[in-house]
Amino acid sequence: MVAANLDAARDADVILLSVKPQTLTKVGHELGGHLRPNQLVVSIVAGANCNVLTSLLEHREVVRSMPNTPAQIGRGITVWYPTPEVTELQCDQARVLLRALGTDLQVEDERFVEMATAVSGTGPAYVFLVMEALIDAAVHLGFPRHIAHDLVIETLEGSTAFAKATAQHPAVLRNMVTSPGGTSAAAIHELESGRLRTVLSEAVWASYRRTIELGSELEKGLGLNEGRSEGSTDVANGAGPKVAAARRSGR
């Protein structure tokens, strides 16, 4: 442990930025201009795009990544993107670091990190909310809470493992459970009537839009004219990630 970020970074081969977006500018100003060539910066800061990171740090060897909370038990998935200046050796360093958290997925387009923020990064929150709702429903049926908890946890874990082992489309697996006129059919009818698919899709889009907004706010705070301000408006209006990517690719 050291008292200053600069002291921590001075002799490091790899520097991991794991702060909240609201803190990034302060930390970045402490480090900016003091990093050596060949030092690798790996960021897990939500919304902080490579334009922000390289400008703030005055350093080009940056990996932008997005892990998720199951990383705490080595079961996470991390999507990551290296800037063109990152060497193959540094990519290997990043890969080793991120694989300690679970599965890693390197992408060739930075926008996929932003999309992953809304799907896998935020995804555990969706799963935990569904988990909580199912447990509460089981308690409402009459199960003691500890039994309801175990039933739901094991069902979710087993279903995920089954889907992974079979590699079948989720619709095929769902049809295995759904008999004509049966209990699952009745339950799914209620879920579809409640617009479950649409609500989940809207939640992912809301998370994606907020990711773009965070990047735009950081860029604005740094006085950067390029970047996300136009792209974020396009995404908010429903134009989608291709428009935002077009704005980014011209930097």
* pLDDT score for 225: 58
pTM of the model: 0.84
Residues forming beta bridges with residue 62, ordered by sequence position: 41
To which H or E segment does residue 248 belong?
Answer: helix 241-249
Write the CB contacts of 15 (distance below 8 Å, at least 6 apart in sequence): 8, 9, 31, 35, 39, 40, 41, 42
User: What does the pLDDT look like over 192-203, one tens digit per residue?
Assistant: 999 999 999 999
What's the Cα-to-Cα distance from 206 to each of 125, 192, 236, rounded to whole Å?
Answer: 13, 21, 9
- Please say whether the beta carbons of 203 and 125 come within 8 A: no
The string of pLDDT tens digits covering residues 221-231 is: 888 855 444 44
Compute and round to an integer the Cα radius of gyration of the chain: 21
Mean per-residue pLDDT for 23-47? Answer: 94
Tell me the domains of the chain and their CATH numbers.
Answer: 5-109 (3.40.50.720), 123-194 (1.10.3730.10)
